[in-house]
């Protein structure tokens, strides 16, 4: 009975062009990868600054293991709160310019746990239509009323806020740099509306951290909105090259989450090696601003080249380039043609993106060379329909 359901479901996914399978990477995560046994140029990684294989992170991890061992053996509230967790949290708070920070095991856990801690039955959460799955799940889990507003549509958001007066608490949640579209939320407008209608703001900086000037802290910091955003979240696993995630905000928020946030409380804490990598990565972001510049330059070079070839790239302005295809099967065919020629640009299909908007999600790294980008442009030219 169960088997039958599984086979039918898999068949349905295949017919719809939505079947997924894992690809195997050998070796380290760089601008080139050995993928399923073949070397390819990698345009499908969130390792934006090229820190995932940086020796400083490796050295930090090794010495943390030597000094503190491998695992923590418990959750933070029992006996798993080590000095390194607090050291990393101070570092993140300083980086973000907030009073406090709290480390979580993953960004997925931040979003599900924090949204459902801040709002519950009787409250309303306002969520951009293209927010990440983990935010969507956090909204569902909260049991608050969920008002989904059109992507970046401030009139729609204001309309929803106006209608929501009876709500006990209100929370607006948005990504800053959107993961699949590479466009930016109008954060100043969001914060303005939140103040007018008495709502809290939570901003997901998963893809913005490490990327924006002046110090890589994110779009909130670049716009000087830190004081007006209640929760900033980010991850340590993308531009910062390691693993884990965090929130940055007030001391009171940190305390509330330690006391009430289930995805923080009921899980074994991250191991010392991971904390040490996070600390080393934030140090590198501060010491090596040239990585940010190289990422920006590489992104512009590839964007201009792809535009020149007639590809449509949406409204992206940073390191995430959505090459729009539309149909899921055609999108995967283009991805395959590129892969055969040595360029890995992953196809993104529903349910990750809305139906009819399948695209290649092309992402740049600071460590791509001009030669690799030129080679990729040649390949995109050959692979065009």
Ligand X SMILES: Cc1ncc(COP(=O)(O)O)c(C=O)c1O
Please tell me which residue in 142, 179, 299, 358 is annotated as part of the active site. 179
When asked if residue 48 is in the footprint of ligand X (CB under 6 A), the reply is: no
Q: Please count the residues of this chain forming the interface with ligand X, following the rule CB under 6 A.
A: 14
Q: How far apart are CA 376 and CA 355, in angstroms?
A: 27
Q: Decide if residue 50 touches ligand X (CB under 6 A).
A: no
* 367-373: long-range contacts, CB 8 A cutoff, minimum separation 24: 367/30, 367/31, 367/50, 367/294, 368/31, 368/41, 368/298, 369/31, 370/301, 372/31, 372/32, 372/41, 373/298, 373/301, 373/302, 373/305
Residue 75 is among the residues annotated as catalytic for this protein: no
Look up 179 and say whether it is catalytic: yes
Residues within window 228-257 making contact with ligand X, judged by CB under 6 A: 235, 237, 245
Q: How far is the CB of 276 from ligand X (least distance, A)?
A: 17
Decide if residue 107 touches ligand X (CB under 6 A).
Answer: yes
Residue with tokens 């943390």: 64
Catalytic residue of the set 54, 96, 207, 346: 207
Specify the residue, 132 or 254, whose C-beta has the smaller distance to ligand X.
132
Alpha carbon distance 82, 270 (integer Å): 10
Catalytic: 176? no
Backbone angles phi, psi at 85, to 5 degrees: -60, -45
Question: Which one among 171, 206, 302, 320 touches ligand X, defined by CB under 6 A?
Answer: 206
> Smallest distance from the beta carbon of 339 to ligand X, in angstroms?
22
CB atoms within 10 A of CB 166: 8
CA 38, CA 267: separation in Å to the nearest integer?
38
113 scored as a contact of ligand X (CB under 6 A): no
Shortest distance, position 110 Cβ to ligand X, whole Å: 7
Active site amino acids: 179, 207, 238
Residues in contact with ligand X by CB under 6 A are 106-108, 111, 132, 134, 175, 179, 204, 206-207, 235, 237, 245
């Amino acid at each position: 009975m169960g088997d039958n359901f599984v086979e039918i479901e898999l068949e349905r996914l295949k017919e719809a062009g939505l079947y997924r399978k894992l690809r195997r990477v050998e070796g380290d995560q760089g601008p080139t990868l050995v993928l399923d046994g073949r070397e390819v140029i990698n345009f499908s990684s969130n390792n934006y600054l090229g820190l995932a294989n940086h020796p400083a992170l490796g050295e930090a991890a090794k010495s943390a293991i030597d000094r503190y061992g491998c695992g923590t053996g418990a959750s933070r509230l029992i006996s798993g709160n080590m000095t390194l967790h607090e050291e990393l949290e101070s570092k993140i708070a300083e980086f973000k310019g907030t009073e406090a920070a709290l480390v979580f095991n993953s960004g997925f856990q931040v979003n599900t746990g924090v949204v459902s801690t801040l709002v519950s039955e009787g409250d309303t959460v306002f969520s951009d239509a293209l927010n990440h799955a983990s935010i969507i799940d956090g909204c569902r889990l909260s049991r608050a009323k969920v008002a989904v507003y059109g992507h970046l549509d401030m009139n729609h958001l204001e309309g929803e806020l106006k209608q929501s007066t009876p709500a006990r608490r209100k929370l607006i949640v948005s990504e800053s740099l959107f993961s699949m579209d590479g466009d930016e939320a109008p954060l100043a407008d969001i914060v303005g509306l939140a103040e007018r209608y008495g709502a809290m703001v939570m901003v997901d900086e998963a893809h913005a951290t490490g990327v924006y000037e002046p110090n890589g802290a994110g779009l909130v910091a670049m716009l000087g909105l830190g004081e007006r955003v209640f929760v900033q979240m980010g991850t340590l696993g993308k531009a910062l090259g390691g693993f884990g995630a965090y929130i940055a905000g007030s001391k009171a928020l940190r305390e509330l989450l330690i006391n009430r946030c289930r995805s923080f409380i009921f899980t074994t804490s991250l191991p010392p090696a991971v904390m040490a990598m996070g600390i080393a990565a934030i140090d590198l972001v501060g010491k090596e601003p040239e990585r940010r510049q190289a990422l920006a330059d590489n992104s512009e070079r590839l964007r201009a080249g792809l535009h020149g070839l007639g590809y449509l790239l949406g409204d992206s302005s940073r390191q995430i380039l959505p090459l729009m295809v539309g149909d899921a099967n055609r999108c995967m065919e283009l991805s395959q043609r590129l892969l055969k020629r040595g360029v890995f640009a992953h196809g993104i299909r529903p349910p990750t993106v809305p139906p009819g908007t399948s695209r290649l999600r092309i992402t740049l790294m600071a460590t791509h060379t001009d030669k690799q980008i030129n080679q990729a442009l040649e390949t995109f030219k050959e692979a065009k329909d």
